[in-house]
């Protein structure tokens, strides 16, 4: 019996999905530089996309840990007090990780 996993080495359409309180508000490609403002429960959070990276530049949260996280190219940025989550991934998301099973 064998199990075969296959994932793309480099995603074709990397994007940043921005959620507020669990609800998606933006899905933005990483290949276009921009700054977006997102309204959370505590106020506005500013998110910068540049050179295929993402960072939080300003947030109304008290300790600014989300701002201190700096730039990311993959993974997740979180501002817990303002309930904002930014996930970097492929726009063509797949729901399953196993592509084939042999027996």
> Where in the chain are the domains?
2-102
Instruction: Grade residue 93 by pLDDT with cuts at 50, 70 and 90.
Output: very low
Structure tokens, 6: 């296959």
**Region 49-64 average pLDDT:** 96
**Region 2-7 average pLDDT:** 52
Mean pLDDT of the chain, nearest integer:
84
Of residues 99 and 46, more confidently modeled: 46
Classify strands 2-5 and 98-102 as parallel, antiparallel or unpaired: antiparallel
Q: How far is CA 101 from CA 2, 9, 97, in A?
A: 6, 20, 11
Q: Identify the three-state secondary structure at position 24.
A: strand
- Nearest by Cα to 41 from 85, 82, 80, 84: 82
pLDDT at 69 over 90: yes
Q: Max Cα separation, the chain? A: 55
pLDDT at 3 over 60: no
What is the tens place of the pLDDT at every residue in 10-51?
546 789 999 999 999 999 999 999 999 999 999 999 999 999
> How many CB atoms are closer than 10 A to CB 6?
8
Structure tokens, 54: 């993402």
As a whole number of angstroms, the distance between CA 13 and CA 7 comes to 14
Give CATH for domain 2-102. Answer: 2.60.320.10
């Amino acid at each position: 019996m064998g199990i075969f996993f296959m994932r793309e080495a480099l995603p074709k359409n990397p994007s940043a999905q921005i959620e507020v309180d669990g609800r998606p508000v933006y899905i933005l490609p990483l290949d276009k530089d921009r700054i977006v403002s997102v309204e959370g429960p505590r106020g506005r959070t500013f998110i910068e996309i540049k050179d295929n990276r993402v960072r939080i530049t300003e947030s109304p949260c008290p300790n600014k840990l989300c701002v201190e996280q700096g730039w990311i190219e993959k993974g997740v940025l979180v501002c817990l007090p303002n309930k904002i989550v930014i996930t970097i991934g492929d726009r063509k998301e797949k729901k399953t990780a196993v592509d084939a099973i042999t027996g």
